[in-house]
Chains A and B, each alone.
Chain A
């Protein structure tokens, strides 16, 4: 890259040291943004959600998130070691995965759930594909799905509820369980919005998610098209469901503020690695996740659908990318479509 300059370079001061002149192709300057700073932005965006979780679930939230953050970081180090590489902990991506995984678990999940979830998230979700940037599925959701199925007894709808729970809100069923099983009274919209309801640690407060999401989009750490299209499409499908079945306790707003729809829209579906590259693709992806979330909530055995909706749509990302190659500046509309078809 660099070589010492042989010819005399006129110097500003006679005794100054001769600079070594580099030769490299342009551009020679770059924006002050690194992968590390993007991850820090995501962590900052998660802060309101984290604070809300600590407010409502006290030390349970602290413990759960700490276990997953440490677990993911440790897993990253272990798997990097196994693959004979230096652990790329400096990019902060494992920490972010840990924070999201921790916030997606219920307060009552035992410590081993967090540890197993972390190792599956990083090991199966990321390292197995070749590390940062190579994975197809959202690592946190891979870990979440694994523990959700493996430890069904401690992570099912009943796991959230404890009659002798240490906090008031955990004595009630989660809003979506209420809707699914008629297991109590549906909470009002205001508690759903603020977050004073039972649920996974990070998902209860719609307000905190919106604040964090706004920050992420403004910092461009998340593509705004994804949460926007996801919310719109979820609202549209939920609205249709309401038309078909007006008796349901779940109105469109209940759908939006309840469960982890907003948390997923802002922090999970926006994972850059596992979402499409181009704006149009991102919109398609978000719309797909939003629709699937509502479908799963309405038609499956699970009260909540974000985990599987995101994983399903992750699988379609390569296809979406291929279909949504942007039309270059000045290219005719028709030609690009046929190019895409040939591709």
Chain B
């Protein structure tokens, strides 16, 4: 362990980073509500990193809630399921918030056997029998997770069963459950930790069992004392440790969390498993419990609808495939000052071009920013103040990479480690000259990939 690692571990954080205003108060105290079943949903056939699904149902076929409607043989993929009961329509194409055009399968809602409070109970409530976990075989856990179509719900959208498959060459020592939720405005994970801590604990223990890990830690930012309290209560008597980490953006980034909790440094270009750690988001953990203990696929998720541009910020349980406009309508509608509608938070979220876009498994929030929030001034010359260098959690020189990307000097960009950038946006946030640093870097990475 280096000295810097030691210092970081005693402070339960990583080096550098930023402190944007957290704005969580808008939605943090709104209990999770269940949305009335929408008339129609459109299930995207690609919601994860990896191969797209093929429809496994025919048009006009009747499906029940949770029936598989799309799947593909590839290893890095996850099936998709009907999130309402109803009739399947003809597959069309939709634009997801991240700009990808993907096939979507519309389902017209028919008779719903489970709604409202019952649906909430089915998803998050009830008992999560921990003694059953001991009876689960690791292979069964992974298989149940794969069948349930689980992906990382913190935003990365990587198929969960791939992560949970134990590897002999890289054994996992510690499972880290990520309860940081470091983006401003977001409160879905916070509410889940308060309302369904038992499900998270059960899911975390299942992940630990699947991987044969020795240790299990839930990392939560210290601006969420209530969540820490609830998680500690739910975890008492189990192998789950709850650890508070310092509030700082991007504390929820995998490598930063590993550094804060385990004082280990994930190698450049590597993954947490290179240091024997595995990171799962809290909502993913709850879904693992649901998939394994109740045999239920991933059909719903919790979404924070927040921002000053929306009338009533709140946290909602929504069926995957519902349109953004219905979430906005359910939150009292958009206010006249609204300027941008984001899928996700203001740091890494994507702008929605059309509110007809469907919610995917990876959509944790809809944030509506107003013109007053944006207040971006005109771009001025870089004065080389180095603030971007001072905040970069990966110790890069963002200004140099951005200039290299702007001038398409890929040699220079590589010399300054462009590929290491995780696009957290700290540099662009802090830049006094308002240079779109991370945007240029992102563009440069994309152009390098096609060059």
Contact = CB atoms under 8 A, between A and B. Distances in A.
Nearest to B309: A19
B340 A33 contact: no
* Interface residue tally on A, bucketed by range: 35 or more
B381 A25 contact: no
Interface stretch (A3-11, A106-114, A158-166, A252-260): A3-11
Contact of B265 (A7, A321, A330): A330
Interface string B404-444: 00000000000111001000010011111110101100100
Interface stretch (A127-135, A204-212, A305-313): A127-135
Interface string A131-155: 1111000000000000000000000
B380 A329 contact: no
Contacts of A34: 377, 380, 432-434
Interface stretch (A44-52, A60-68, A273-281): A273-281
A38 interface: yes
A28 B338 contact: no
Contacts of B237: none
A30 interface: yes
B434 A30 contact: yes
Contacts of B428: 27, 30
B394 interface: yes
Interface stretch (B42-50, B170-178, B218-226, B328-336): B328-336
A38 B434 CA distance: 13
Interface string A327-341: 111111000000100
Interface in B327-363: 328-329, 332-342, 344, 346-356
B434 A272 contact: no
Contact of B432 (A11, A33, A329): A33
Given A27-B346, A28-B374, A277-B399, A272 B380 contact: no
Nearest to B325: A10
A319 to B, nearest CB: 14
Interface stretch (B60-68, B106-114, B276-284, B383-391): B383-391
Contacts of B310: 12
Contacts of A37: 432
Given A10-B329, A272-B386, A278-B397, A28 B416 contact: no
Given A325-B416, A330-B266, A7 B354 contact: yes
A62 B203 CA distance: 71
A9 B335 CA distance: 10
B347 A35 contact: no
Contacts of A279: 389-390
Contact of A272 (B349, B356, B384, B396): B384
Interface string B255-272: 100000000011111100
Given A8-B325, A28-B342, A88 B415 contact: no
Given A21-B341, A27-B428, A330 B416 contact: no
A26 B347 contact: yes
Nearest to B369: A28
Contact of B335 (A12, A272, A278): A12
A25 B351 contact: yes
A28 B347 CA distance: 6
A35 B336 contact: no
Contacts of B336: 11-13, 16-17, 19
B297 interface: no
Contact of B415 (A275, A325, A332): A325
Given A7-B355, A277-B400, A278-B389, A29 B346 contact: yes
A93 B383 contact: yes
Contacts of B383: 35, 38, 93, 132-133, 272-273
Given A9-B328, A29-B429, A35-B380, A23 B417 contact: no
Given A10-B325, A21-B339, A330 B255 contact: yes
A26 B386 contact: no
A329 B394 contact: yes
Contacts of A88: 380-381
A220 B385 CA distance: 9
A21 B439 contact: no
Contacts of A6: 354
B386 A28 contact: no
A23 B351 contact: yes
Interface in A66-95: 88, 91, 93
A8 B429 CA distance: 31
Nearest to B428: A27
Contacts of A133: 381-384, 433
Interface of B: 18, 20, 184, 255, 265-270, 309-311, 325-326, 328-329, 332-342, 344, 346-356, 369, 373-377, 380-387, 389-390, 393-397, 399-400, 415-417, 420, 425, 428-434, 436, 438-439, 442
| A-B CB proximity, top 6 nearest | A10-B329, A27-B425, A133-B381, A12-B333, A12-B311, A331-B268
Interface of A: 3, 5-13, 16-17, 19-31, 33-35, 37-38, 88, 91, 93, 131-134, 220, 223, 272-273, 275-279, 282, 321, 325-332, 339, 343
Given A29-B429, A31-B429, A34-B377, 8 more contacts: A8-B325, A9-B341, A16-B335, A21-B355, A28-B369, A223-B386, A277-B397, A326-B397
20 contacts: A17-B336, A19-B334, A19-B337, A21-B353, A23-B352, A26-B342, A26-B349, A28-B351, A28-B374, A29-B373, A30-B429, A38-B383, A38-B432, A272-B385, A276-B386, A277-B386, A277-B397, A278-B397, A331-B420, A332-B268
